[in-house]
Structure 1
C-alpha cells in the first residue's frame, strides 16, 4: 500500500518540521512530567489529573505520528514559471464574484498547510477544484455551502 502524497510548499514543510521538533523535544517532556506529578496524587482509578495527562500524551503522540508521515510523504510544490497565468497548486489566484464584483484572493496549497483565515485553501476544496487549470479572464461556477457562485479570475501569481 502506497502512502498518500502530501502536497506542500517548502515553507509549509519547514513549519511542520518545527512543530514536530517542538513536540518531540519540549511538549513530550512536559506531558511526561504531568503524568509523574499526577501519579503522586495516589489512586489512579479516581485520578482525573492522571486521566487528563494520559489523554494529552495520546494526542501528542498521535500528532507526532501524523507529522512524521506527512513530512515523509511530502511532495514539494514547484514554481511553474512557464504557465504563470494558469491556476495551479502553489499559485495565488484573485477573482471577483459576479455580478457584484467583490474581490477575493487565495493561495492554493496542499491540505497539510490549508488555512482559510490566512488565505490558503486546500487543493482538495471545491473552490480550488473549480479554479484549477483556469486562466485570467475565465468565468467559473463554484459550489459553496451557501449555493453556487460565479467568479471571474482577475489575477494569477
Structure 2
C-alpha cells in the first residue's frame, strides 16, 4: 500500500504528481476551511489542484487506507479511489480522468470508454506524462490496471 509519506518524502514524486497529474501536494496546506462534507467524518487534505479543488482522505481509520475524494471549488465531490494506492493507479493509467467525467453522459461507463479512446492519443504523446508515469511506476510500485 502506498502511503502519503511515500509521496511526501520525494521531491521528484511531488513534482511529477503536480506537473503531469495536477495533484499538487504542496497545495495541501492551503485554506480549505470551505469544505463541508455530509456525513461528517474526519478528513485530511492531501493535495490541491490548479482550479482550486482538493483531494481528501476521508472517513475512519488510517488516512493511507481511507477513500480519496475529489472536491471541486464549486462544491461538488465524489470518490475517486478506495484508497491512495488505487487512486494513484487510476490517475497514472488515465491522467485524463477529469475529461472522462465531463464526457460521461451523466456517469455512463460506456460513454467514458468511448471518450477515453479519443482523449488517450493526446496524452500518449505527452512527454511530461510519459516520463512521470515511468518514474512513478518504478519508484512507488504502482500496480498497472487493465481497465481503470
TM class by shorter chain equals under 0.3
Q: Which has the higher contact order (CA 8 A, sep 6+)?
A: 1
| Structure whose CA Rg is larger | 1
TM-score by length of 2: 0.25
